[in-house]
Structure formats: structure tokens, C-alpha cells
């Protein structure tokens, strides 16, 4: 690890250490007695460790130590540890108006001054009534239903971000008590801050996810549709016929999920769980068989099988073993009782062991047999990972006040990495609970809260906190619920104790659901490319408006509208939508609107909401499919909406393995340039490759024009092109030339 570190013994007492991890990233730790500890996220490898060397200049003047890089500087007062973060031009970004305090046994407090016009975003799924956090106060405590995934990260329109590196329960006041102050405080744990500098919110997300982990790239099928079955006495045969009905109705779907009744013991938390002998029995002679089991039947119809899980296992023991430490109950007891005030109970006695955890056995080990039986996805319910355990001492020696937020993160980490190590494939793990860093392991859904406005705000806050693969239960009985449900990073329908199958919602809703499902599957190359962008720089698939138009104050607090990738603008649970500056085309009607401005939501009766395309968009689409197939699609359609100069990069890989992390990705850059006399669409040759890549790519290019074309050429030669006056769409067929590796260039004379 090439980290530049500097320790300062404060004259008023205490030790402060600064680690310069990158030109734009400083880590600051403080303790009154010099007890600087690594937090749990560092200990268990959640935060990045392998930082390259940084060139740092250290200056001492007038009672200060200044550490400067090419991008920023951090000054520390030698007497009391007050901090000042500046950009490369010397502009103050963030400063502490009072001395921070920290001592491991009594907690910490740090305050930052806020400029009058700063807006703050982040904190994950900590609250669901706002996205702009200036003027808000809350607790970084995972709570069932109320706060599933708190993330102690805040970024500012002032060009800075702060990540509080602790899993202890703590509080944040982002200008609620004093509008000019941002305060973080806790009763236990030490002060450990990461301070980031960036000139935009997307840049800050990029740098935060560089630290806390890039969003996990789900298997391609994970971005399709997941249907979770009713659990009440459902048998394997029922599941098969439910899956068959999706195929019969020609509704695309990829994953079928089972709820707790798949187990012999309902809600079995143990590592001894079994398939229900009555409902999902697999004869011993058919174990691992590719035929004649219900899992094989699902696979033969193109479905993946997902299993519901609950967990109360002590996952901390496995993490300690990975670090080379065997669990010792006496050592774990040495720390003594420490309880957080919010759950304090004098009658509780810490439980140092439990009846579930098996010493030396990882949680995922007992799940391998179910993977062998055909499971390829797991749903991690909130039970018991989001519950408090105030009487429990964890095997790593932690009290619940430190372990509670950490637990779902370690559970998801072990599920994701366990599946990867065992199969070599990407995990479709989705969880209700999580914490900072969850994005690099799992998808999440908004828990048992439905698919209304609250979950939408949750998804926006996740995206503003570095987490992209989010979803919520779709409300299949309403047009708005279906519209919103399919314009999410991944889509799911939950039946559980309901009959939410689309064919039971009436013919009108069935037709609507079918249309949206087919549209989503046609859009999978677009969605998957957006997922690749998220996995590279942290920019989420579902983008809150401040990420899109940060300088437009009208976008600062919009909670019911968002961009879906870089091309689509939509909303839900509102009758008005705000269009930022630029031109926006109604996807349903083709009508153009110029922003900025707010307009009423108007859409056809057979749709569930408004959908606008940003002028200049290039949208790749598949032909109609029932599910993600075993081979790549050789023909791609491109919907092109000319406007000035624009581009889009199509990302493709094998959709299953981790080879994309070694660069096994094909990239196709598509460009469009519009002038008064001409539209030019350029399709560059694919760069890169992956297993199963089609040898030759063909395109159907659909160019949306305001008037009929006068002439069309393809790579310099006149071609026949179909133009439909009613829609204004010109269609040109083009093909990749793998031998010449030359771009295909379509020129349209207007």
C-alpha cells in the first residue's frame, strides 16, 4: 500500500492522522488518547486498500500543517485539529468551525460549516421524504421498514463529499439544528473521515465508489423480470405451470422466485435446511440432474431459480477466519458490555454464542447443495438481518451497536463472493438490508414497503449514494405501478400471499403489463450499457434530477421524476413533470417539447405514465425475446433522435461471468451529427471481444426526422431506405465489416 501518512500530536491533546490516498481523497482519524483504530469496513476489506503513490507537499506555517496534492489541500491546526479542505485553486470547500473531538470509548463529534447556497445529497435509504438533505437530521441506524440501507455519505454542490467511516450507531444533522452546520456525532467509536474533492456530483460519485466499491454488474438476466411466487402451500408443479404461463402469454421473464415455503421448516435460519419433502422433493437419484426435476424444467424454459433466505448466522466468525484469527469466546468477552442508549435494557445479558453458527463453517457452505440443485439467485429477506440483537455479543467481539449496521453488509459480501468462488458466475443476490459498500456485492429492493412514492425516493437516494442496482415490489394492479415498475434498474413482481400474476389483473392491465415487459426486454442492451457505466464510474441507472441538471434549482428537490439512463426522462405518482433545458420528445406520440419548464403529464390511455426521450439520444434495442438467451443477439436496432452532436456507447459481454473485469467487453460507439442540411449517423466497429460474441453484427437504424429525406447514402453509396411519413422514421439497414474494420456511415440529406 503506497499511502502518504502524516501524524500530528495536537498541543491541546490527542493524535490526528491524515492519509493521502489520492490527489482528491484524504482520510482523517482522531483520538484523544492516540488510539487510532481501523474501522470494520477497512478490517473486512470493504473499502479499497490498493492506492497508488501520491505526490504530496507538506508545509508548516502559523500553527498549521498543510498537505497539498495537485487536486486539493488539507490544512490541520496543530493546537486543536480543526480542518480546512481547499481545491487546487485555494478555494475553501469545507472547514470545521470548532475542534473535532474523538475518543473510542465515548464517541466523536465533528461539525462542518455550510455555505448558504450548498445543497447536500446522499445518506442512502435513511429516509424517504426527500432527496435534498440540507435541513434534515437523522440516525445512521438500520431499522426495519423505516431505514433499510443507511449510508453515511454526503456530497455537496459545493464540490466536496464526506464519508463517515464507522458502523457504530451515529447521528447526522445536515443543517436542521443550525442551517450553517453539518454535524456527525456518536456515543461510541472513533472519528474516521474520508474527505473527497470533485467538481460535480457525478465526479464525486465516481470518487466515492472508487473508495467504497463500484456497483456490482448483475448477470444480464438479472436486468430482466423477476417473478416471486405465492408461498402458501405452493408445489413444484404450481411453480412450473406459473412459469409456463409466462411463456404461453408471451410475457418475457427470466427469474422465478420461491418464498419461505420452499423449506421443510418454514423460516429455517439454520444451516440444516432442506427442500420441503411435500412440495419440492428432489429424489436422491435426480440430485444435480439436468432433467426431470422442477429446477431443470424451469431451466429448460429459460428461467433462473431464486430462493428466499433468512439469516441469523454469525457471519463475523468467517470474516475473522479470513484474517487468520480463530474465534475464542474468552477473547470475545474481554471487551465487556457496551450498549447503545437507543436500545439499552438493564435486564439484557450479552449472549456470547448462539445455537445456529457452526464454528469453522462459512454461511454459504450449506447453500452450495441448493446451487447444485439449480438455484442461481437468492433473495435475502430482512428477517433477521435488520433486527436488533442487544443481548448478543458477536464472535468478532463486537457489541450490536457496532455490528448491527455491518451485519447485512457482511452477509451480502459472503453470499456474493461465495457464489462467485463456487460457480465462477455473477450472483443475482438481492437484499432488503445493507450499509455503505453494499453496491459492490448485491442488488437491493425497498423491502416490504410496496411500489409507491416512498420506494421511488428510496431508489433516488440510493443512486445519490453510490448504489445502482435497486428495485421495489411492482404494483401490478395499477397502470402507474406497472410503468414505474418496469423503469427501474431491475424489475420484480411479488406475489407472496397475494395473486399478483399479471393474467389475474383483468384484460386491460394484462395488456399493459405485457406491453411494458416486452418494451423492457427490447431495451435490455440500453439498460445493460447503463449498468456497465455504473460499474465503471458509479453513475446510477436510475438518476435523480440533480445528477442530470445540477445547475437548475428547479431540479434540486424533485422526488417523483428521474432519468432512466442517459436517454429517458419519466416520473410516477404525480400529474406534472419538469423538463430541463433542451429538447424532449414524447416517446409515445413523437411530439417535441422544449425545456426548461413544467408541463402536465399527458399520455395515451393504454400507457401508465409519461416517457420522454432526450433529443440526441441513440437507443439500442433487441428484437422481441422471451428471456435472456444462451447466445448473444446478432442484430441490434438503433433508435436515433438527431439533435446537434451526440453519441452512445453500447457495452456487451457474456452476461454471466466476471471476465468483464479483465476487459472481456465489446464496445460499440455510435455517433450522430445533425446540421441544417444533413444528418450523419456513424457506427464504429466493435472494440474488444468476449466469449460467445456474434462474429458479425447487423443493424436496423431508425432515424427520427422532422421531414422526408432527399437522399440517403451508406458509406458513400446510395441505398434504399424506408421512410414512414406518419411516424417520421427513416429505416436503414447496415452491417459491420469485420475485415475492413471501417465504420458504417449513414448520411441523410435533408
pLDDT in tens, 229-246: 998 989 999 999 999 999
d(CA 113, CA 434): 29
Contact 99, 81 (CB under 8 A): yes
Which CATH architecture fits 220-325+362-445? Alpha-Beta Barrel (3.20)
Q: Is the pLDDT of residue 332 over 60?
A: no
Q: How far is CA 599 from CA 325, 577, 587, 595, 643, in A?
A: 61, 6, 15, 10, 22
d(CA 647, CA 684): 11
Contact 227, 255 (CB under 8 A): yes
Q: What is the pLDDT of residue 282?
A: 86
* Residue 513: partners with Cβ closer than 8 Å, 6 or more residues away: 251, 476, 482, 502, 505
* Residue of 552, 556, 370, 531 whose CA lies nearest to 460: 556
d(CA 552, CA 157): 11
pLDDT in tens, 623-636: 999 999 877 899 99
Q: Is the pLDDT of residue 342 over 70?
A: no
What is the number of other CB atoms lying within 10 angstroms of the CB of residue 97? 10
d(CA 732, CA 745): 11
> 58-72, 532-546, 593-607, 729-743: which has the minimum mean pLDDT?
729-743
* Residue of 269, 281, 168, 217 whose CA lies nearest to 541: 217
DSSP code string of 15-41: EEEEEEEETTEEEEEEETTS-----HH
Q: 333: pLDDT confidence band, cut at 50, 70 and 90?
A: very low
Average of per-residue pLDDT across 740-745 = 83
Interstrand relation of 470-471 and 443-445 (parallel, antiparallel or unpaired): parallel
Q: What is the pLDDT of residue 334?
A: 46
Q: What is the pLDDT of residue 289?
A: 80
d(CA 448, CA 99): 42
Q: What is the pLDDT of residue 331?
A: 55
Contact 274, 231 (CB under 8 A): no
Compute the mean pLDDT over every residue in the chain, rounded to the nearest whole number: 94
The two domains 220-325+362-445 and 631-749 share their CATH topology (first three levels equal)? no
d(CA 274, CA 51): 44
Task: Report percent pLDDT > 90 for the chain.
Answer: 87
Q: What is the pLDDT of residue 740?
A: 63
CATH assignment of 631-749? 2.60.40.1180
Average of per-residue pLDDT across 96-102 = 97
Q: Is the pLDDT of residue 686 over 60?
A: yes
Of the two residues 248 and 355, the one the predictor is more confident about is: 248
CA dihedral for 351, 355, 357, 363, sign (positive or negative)? negative
Q: How far is CA 623 from CA 254, 331, 639, in A?
A: 16, 61, 13
Secondary-structure class of domain 4-212 per CATH: mainly beta
Average of per-residue pLDDT across 696-704 = 95
What is the number of other CB atoms lying within 10 angstroms of the CB of residue 639? 21
* Residue 445: partners with Cβ closer than 8 Å, 6 or more residues away: 430, 431, 432, 470, 471, 472, 473, 492
Secondary structure of residue 83 in the 3-state scheme: strand
Alpha helices in 326-478 (DSSP H): 329-333, 368-372, 400-423, 453-463
d(CA 194, CA 192): 7
Interstrand relation of 375-380 and 428-431 (parallel, antiparallel or unpaired): parallel
d(CA 169, CA 160): 24
Average of per-residue pLDDT across 299-304 = 96
d(CA 69, CA 458): 36
What are the extents of the domains in the chain? 4-212, 220-325+362-445, 631-749
pLDDT in tens, 149-202: 999 999 999 999 999 999 999 999 999 999 999 999 999 999 999 999 999 999
- DSSP annotation of 685 reads P
Q: What is the pLDDT of residue 383?
A: 82
Q: Is the pLDDT of residue 715 over 50?
A: yes
Provide the whole-model pTM: 0.95
Beta strands in 141-197 (DSSP E): 149-156, 160-164, 170-174, 181-186, 191-197
Contact 239, 227 (CB under 8 A): no
pLDDT in tens, 461-482: 999 999 999 999 999 999 999 9
Q: 408: pLDDT confidence band, cut at 50, 70 and 90?
A: very high
Task: Look up residue 622 and give its three cell numbers.
Answer: 433487441
- Which secondary-structure segment (H or E) carries 528? helix 524-537
Amino acid at each position: 500500500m503506497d499511502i502518504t501518512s502524516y501524524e500530528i500530536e495536537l498541543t491541546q491533546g490527542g493524535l490526528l492522522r491524515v492519509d493521502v490516498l489520492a490527489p482528491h481523497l484524504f482520510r482523517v482519524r482522531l483520538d484523544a488518547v492516540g488510539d487510532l483504530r481501523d474501522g470494520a469496513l477497512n478490517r473486512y476489506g470493504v473499502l479499497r486498500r490498493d492506492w497508488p503513490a501520491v505526490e504530496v507537499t507538506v508545509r508548516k506555517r502559523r500553527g498549521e500543517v498543510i498537505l497539498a496534492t495537485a487536486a486539493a489541500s488539507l490544512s490541520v491546526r496543530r493546537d486543536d485539529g480543526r480542518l480546512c479542505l481547499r481545491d487546487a485553486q485555494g478555494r475553501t470547500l469545507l472547514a470545521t468551525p470548532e475542534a473535532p473531538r474523538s475518543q473510542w470509548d465515548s464517541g466523536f463529534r465533528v461539525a462542518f460549516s455550510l455555505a448558504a447556497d450548498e445543497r447536500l445529497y446522499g445518506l442512502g435509504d435513511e429516509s424517504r421524504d426527500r432527496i435534498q438533505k440540507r435541513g434534515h437530521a437523522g440516525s445512521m441506524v438500520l431499522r426495519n421498514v423505516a431505514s433499510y440501507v443507511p449510508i453515511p455519505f454526503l456530497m455537496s454542490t459545493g464540490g466536496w463529499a464526506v464519508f463517515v467511516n464507522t458502523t457504530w450507531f451515529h447521528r447526522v444533522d445536515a443543517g436542521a439544528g443550525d442551517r450553517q452546520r453539518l454535524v456527525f456525532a456518536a456515543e461510541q467509536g472513533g472519528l474516521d473521515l474520508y474527505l473527497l474533492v470533485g467538481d460535480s456530483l457525478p465526479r464525486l460519485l465516481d470518487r466515492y465508489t472508487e473508495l467504497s466499491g463500484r456497483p456490482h454488474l448483475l448477470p444480464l438476466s438479472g436486468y430482466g423480470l423477476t417473478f416471486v411466487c405465492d408461498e402458501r402451500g405452493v408445489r413444484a408443479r404450481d411453480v412450473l405451470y406459473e412459469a409456463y404461463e409466462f411463456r404461453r402469454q408471451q410475457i418475457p421473464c427470466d427469474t422465478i422466485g420461491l418464498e419461505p415455503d420452499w423449506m421443510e421448516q418454514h423460516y429455517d435460519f439454520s444451516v440444516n435446511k432442506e427442500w420441503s419433502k411435500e412440495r419440492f422433493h428432489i429424489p436422491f437419484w435426480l440430485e444435480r440432474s439436468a432433467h426431470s426435476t422442477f429446477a431443470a424444467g424451469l431451466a429448460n424454459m429459460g428461467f433462473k431459480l431464486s430462493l428466499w433466505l433468512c439469516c441469523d448466522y454469525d457471519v463475523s466468525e468467517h470474516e475473522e477466519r479470513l484474517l487468520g484469527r480463530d474465534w475464542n469466546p474468552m477473547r470475545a468477552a474481554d471487551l465487556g458490555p457496551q450498549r447503545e442508549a437507543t436500545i439499552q435494557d438493564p435486564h439484557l445479558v450479552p449472549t456470547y454464542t448462539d445455537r445456529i453458527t457452526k464454528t469453522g463453517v462459512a454461511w454459504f457452505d450449506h447453500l452450495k447443495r441448493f446451487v447444485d440443485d439449480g438455484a442461481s439467485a437468492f433473495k435475502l429477506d430482512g428477517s433477521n438481518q435488520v433486527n436488533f440483537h442487544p443481548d448478543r455479543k458477536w464472535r468478532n467481539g463486537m457489541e450490536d451497536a457496532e455490528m448491527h449496521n455491518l451485519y447485512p453488509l457482511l452477509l451480502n459480501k459472503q453470499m456474493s463472493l461465495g457464489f462467485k468462488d463456487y460457480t465462477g458466475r455473477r450472483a443475482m443476490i438481492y437484499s432488503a438490508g445493507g450499509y455503505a459498500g453494499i453496491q459492490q456485492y448485491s442488488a437491493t429492493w425497498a423491502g416490504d414497503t410496496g411500489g409507491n412514492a416512498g420506494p421511488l425516493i428510496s431508489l433516488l437516494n440510493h443512486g445519490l449514494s453510490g448504489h445502482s442496482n435497486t428495485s421495489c415490489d411492482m404494483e401490478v394492479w395499477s397502470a402507474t405501478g406497472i410503468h414505474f415498475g418496469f423503469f427501474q434498474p431491475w424489475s420484480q413482481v411479488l406475489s407472496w400471499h397475494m395473486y399478483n400474476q399479471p393474467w389475474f389483473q383483468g384484460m386491460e392491465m394484462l395488456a399493459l403489463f405485457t406491453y411494458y415487459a416486452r418494451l423492457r426486454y427490447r431495451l435490455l442492451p440500453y439498460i445493460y450499457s447503463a449498468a456497465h457505466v455504473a460499474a465503471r464510474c458509479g453513475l446510477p441507472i436510475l438518476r435523480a434530477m440533480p445528477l442530470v441538471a445540477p445547475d437548475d434549482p428547479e431540479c434540486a428537490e424533485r422526488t417523483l421524476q428521474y432519468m432512466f439512463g442517459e436517454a429517458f426522462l419519466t416520473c410516477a405518482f404525480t400529474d406534472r413533470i419538469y423538463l430541463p433545458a433542451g429538447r424532449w420528445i414524447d416517446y409515445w406520440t413523437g411530439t417535441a417539447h422544449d425545456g426548461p419548464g413544467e408541463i402536465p403529464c399527458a399520455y395515451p390511455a393504454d400507457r401508465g405514465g409519461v416517457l420522454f426521450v432526450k433529443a440526441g439520444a441513440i437507443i439500442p434495442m433487441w428484437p422481441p425475446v422471451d428471456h435472456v438467451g444462451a447466445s448473444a443477439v446478432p442484430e441490434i436496432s438503433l433508435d436515433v433522435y438527431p439533435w446537434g452532436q451526440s453519441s452512445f456507447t453500447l457495452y456487451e459481454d457474456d452476461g454471466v461471468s466476471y471476465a468483464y473485469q479483465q476487459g472481456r467487453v465489446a464496445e460499440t460507439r455510435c455517433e450522430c451529427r445533425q446540421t441544417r442540411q444533413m444528418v450523419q449517423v456513424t457506427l464504429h466497429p466493435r472494440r474488444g471481444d468476449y466469449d460467445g460474441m456474434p462474429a458479425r453484427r447487423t443493424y436496423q437504424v431508425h432515424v427520427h426526422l422532422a421531414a422526408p429525406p432527399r437522399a440517403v447514402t451508406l458509406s458513400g453509396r446510395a441505398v434504399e431506405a424506408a421512410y414512414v411519413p406518419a411516424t417520421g422514421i427513416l429505416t436503414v439497414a447496415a452491417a459491420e465489416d469485420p475485415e475492413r474494420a471501417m465504420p458504417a456511415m449513414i448520411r441523410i440529406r435533408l
